[in-house]
Amino acid sequence: MLEVRGLHAAYGEAEVLRDVSLTVPEGRIVALLGPNGAGKTTLVKAIARLIPITAGQVSVGEVDLQRLPRHRVVEAGVAIVPEGRRLFTQMTVEENLLLGAYSHTARASLKETLALVYARFPRLEERANQRAGTLSGGEQQMLALGRGLMATPRFLLMDEPSLGLSPLLTAQMFALIEGVTELGVGVLLVEQNVARTLEIAGYGYVLEQGRIVQEGDREALLGSERIREAYLAL
Amino acid sequence: MLILLQTLATGIVLAGLYSLFAIGLSLGWGLLHTINFAHFSFVLLAAYVTYELSTAAGWDPVVTMVVTAPIGALLGLGLQLFVTTFKIDVFGTLIVTFGLFLIFEAAMAMRWTADLLRLPSEINPYFTSAVRIGPIRVSMLLTIATALAVLACVGVWWLLKHTRTGRGIRAFVQEPEMAAAFGVNYPQLSLVIAGIAGATAGLTGTILGMYLSLTPTVVEVWIAVVFAVVLLGGLANPIGVMGAAFVIGMVESFTRQFADPAMARLMALVVLIIVLVFRPEGLFKRLVQEARE
Ligand SMILES: Nc1ncnc2c1ncn2[C@@H]1O[C@H](COP(=O)(O)OP(=O)(O)OP(=O)(O)O)[C@@H](O)[C@H]1O
Ligand SMILES: [Mg+2]
């Protein structure tokens, strides 16, 4: 279980997250919805310890992530597929994947994980020696997901993985995300594509101006006025 | 024809010396964001250590490398710890290490005075003997320097390209946040690089201790040509460093042979300026480019 409790975060004086609490169970997809600027990316980064938090707690099982040095968060089981992909663009596809398995925990099963990722993304295997920066947008997004999986995470934080993808690729991406849960990985999924997201997510949270304003399972969210009006344009 | 080959050979071993001198500086700048002016002080200190161990303790000067390389590595580590602890930026490191350079210079002047110190030739046969390849002769000492340079540059290249440590460092230079998120412990890896860079300064010092008459300011005339190699070689690109040193070494060797020997060093800088006008990024590309936000 990935648990966030009473989390606050700020950029300088401006408080961006206020008292955010949420839970991601293993093997489930949890959606994080909200308008632009709500603080979704900030929340993802705060969980991965890429930015400091001002109050609150983030834990995986018994492990308090705040107590770990930044580079050990991945060993606790949290990997990230960040907004804008942020690949190591000058390194090859395979080097990016190997870097995904950099941690001590992931390195033990490197060969098997690599085979598994290549089986799921044959495109990446074809282009193993190509520089990541020269991949198409869709391929880059797959690589970002593949890199995240290489860390053998228990929880994957995915920030707008369908951004900029064609409808066909978006459908593929969502199928791949669903596939991730079969590995027992819990996914926190930030998405603009709310309709699609609520097809695969069992539970969701709505973040507005840094606060969780609503949460519930799929049916509750689909039935809610706020969601229908603001996010589904029904 | 013979003279041409001889000039070529001299150029090659000069290039060896220059790349050995420049590789550590290039690594520090390109991977650690440290423009380490004190690299020159580390080199000179190592040269004095070689002098002392060979004259006072009677060591073979080449063997003093087993001492100078670790000393250089420790100095490199110390500086890197300082830079990391106080979070000094690139420009800051230039100022701090320039200060260090002046302090070292003053300290060495106190210890060894401004007199010329030269290893007597009976304990330094490497300086006078030569390696013969057919009719061509090259300095034994510079041949040793070249062998060390090739070892250091190819070794570093292999480390960066083909090891987990090297991948971690390259990833961090490009995307620090993501590298850390996947487990790269940069403070630790940066010490590896700083240690290697420092060790090459130690090796360079031993060579120079055998090559020059030492004074506390003797490295100053090397600053320009070494920076030329660093800039032309593409930062943190070990193969580029060798390539750039080759160009500079050849220019120097040919100028010395066929024009005015006094112009040799100057010509190397003229080449630097001409190249940088047309190719500001140098002759070779940086090994890793930082991501631009
Ligand atoms: N590095 C930063 N420095 C200062 N303010 C920032 C920084 N990053 C984000 N912010 C601000 O924090 C707020 C939340 O940003 P965040 O990126 O988390 O939003 P988001 O929900 O991910 O939006 P989007 O859907 O557009 O990606 C915004 O008002 C943004 O301007
Ligand atoms: Mg965002």
Comparing C-alpha atoms, which of A57, A22, A18, A41 is closest to residue A204? A22
CA distance B266 to A66: 56
Q: Is A11 in the pocket of ligand 1 (CB under 6 A)?
A: yes
pLDDT (tens, 9 = 90+) of chain B, 293 residues, equals: 889 999 999 999 999 999 999 999 999 999 999 999 999 999 999 999 999 999 999 999 999 999 999 999 999 999 999 999 999 999 999 999 999 999 999 999 999 988 899 999 899 899 989 999 888 999 999 999 999 999 999 999 999 999 999 999 999 999 999 999 999 999 999 999 999 999 999 999 999 999 999 999 999 999 999 999 999 999 999 999 999 999 999 999 999 988 888 888 888 889 889 988 998 888 888 887 776 54
Cα distance between the two ends of chain A: 34
**A44, amino acid identity:** V
Question: Which ligand has the minimum distance to the alpha carbon of residue A207?
Answer: 1
Instruction: Kindly write down the DSSP assignment for every residue of B146-204, as one continuous string.
Output: HHHHHHHHHHHHHHHHHSHHHHHHHHHHH-HHHHHHTT--HHHHHHHHHHHHHHHHHHH
Question: How many Cα atoms sit within 13 Å of B286 on the Cβ side?
Answer: 18
Q: Which residues of A145-163 are buried (b: 16+ CB within 10 A; e: fewer)?
A: bbbbbbbbbbbbbbbbbbb
Alpha-carbon span B50 to B62, nearest angstrom? 8
For B51-86, the pLDDT digits (tens) are 999 999 999 999 999 999 999 999 999 999 999 999
Residues 6+ apart with CB under 8 A from B160: B166, B169, B170, B236, B238, B287
Contact B167 A91 (CB under 8 A): yes
Q: What's residue A225's pLDDT?
A: 84
Q: Considering only CA atoms, give the Rg of chain A.
A: 17
pLDDT at B44: 97
Which residue among A48, A74, A99 places its CB closest to the CB of B171? Answer: A99
Show the CA angle centred on residue A10, arms to residues A186 and A60, nearest 5°.
25
B286 reaches A (C-beta below 8 A): no
Nearest to B98 by CA among B184, B166, B34: B34
Q: Are B238 and B278 in contact (CB under 8 A)?
A: no
Instruction: Report d(CA A179, CA A145) in Å as an integer.
Output: 12
CB proximity under 8 Å: A 133-152 to B:
147, 151
CA atoms within 13 A on the CB side of B292: 1
Question: What's the distance, CA B275 to chain centroid?
Answer: 21
Q: Does B293 or A25 have the greater pLDDT score?
A: A25
Q: What is the pTM of this model?
A: 0.91
Q: Which ligand is nearest to the CA of A14?
A: 1
Q: How far apart are CA A158 and CA A136, in angstroms?
A: 19
Distance A91 CA to ligand 1 centre (A): 28
Chain B residues with CB-CB distance to A151 below 8 A: 182-183
Tell me: the pLDDT tens digits for B151-175? 999 999 999 999 999 999 999 999 9
> B182-187: long-range contacts (C-beta < 8 A, 24 or more apart)?
B182/A74, B182/A79, B182/A99, B182/A100, B182/A102, B182/A103, B182/A147, B182/A151, B183/A71, B183/A72, B183/A74, B183/A75, B183/A102, B183/A103, B183/A104, B183/A106, B183/A151, B184/A71, B184/A99, B184/A102, B185/A69, B185/A71, B186/A71, B187/B84
Q: Both tokens of residue B142?
A: 């510079």
Strands A78-81 and A155-159 come out as: parallel
Q: Does B171 lie at the interface with A, CB-CB under 8 angstroms? A: yes
Please name the member of A50, A87, A90 whose beta carbon is closest to the beta carbon of B181: A50
Give DSSP secondary structure letters for chain A. Answer: -EEEEEEEEEETTEEEEEEEEEEE-TT-EEEEE--TTSSHHHHHHHHTTSS--SEEEEEETTEEGGGS-GGGTGGGTEEEE-TT----TTSBHHHHHHHHT-SHHHHTTHHHHHHHHHHH-HHHHHTTTSBGGGS-HHHHHHHHHHHHHHT--SEEEEE-TTTT--HHHHHHHHHHHHHHHHTT-EEEEE-S-HHHHHHH-SEEEEEETTEEEEEEEHHHHHH-HHHHHHTS--
Asked whether B28 and B196 are in contact (CB, 8 A), the reply is no
Hey, are the CB atoms on A80 and B168 less than 8 Å from each other?
A: no
Check: CB of residue B50 under 8 Å from CB of residue B207: no
In the DSSP assignment, the letter for residue B75 is H
Matching residue, tokens 């580079």: A71
Cβ of A82 closer than 6 Å to ligand 1, yes or no, is no
A102 at B interface, C-beta within 8 A: yes
* Helix (H), strand (E) at residue B72: helix B65-85
> Tokens standing for B205?
């010092």
Residue nearest to atom 31 of ligand 1 (CA): A37
Sign of the C-alpha dihedral computed for residues A91, A93, A98 and A102 taken in this order = positive
Is the pLDDT at A100 greater than 50? The verdict is: yes
ipTM above 0.90, yes or no: yes
Chain A hits for B175, CB-CB cut-off 8 Å, are: 86-88
Q: Mutation target for A interface from B173, B178, B286: give the one with most A CBs within 10 A.
A: B178
Instruction: Supply B133's token pair.
Output: 């390849």
Beta strand extents in chain B (DSSP E only): 130-133, 136-139
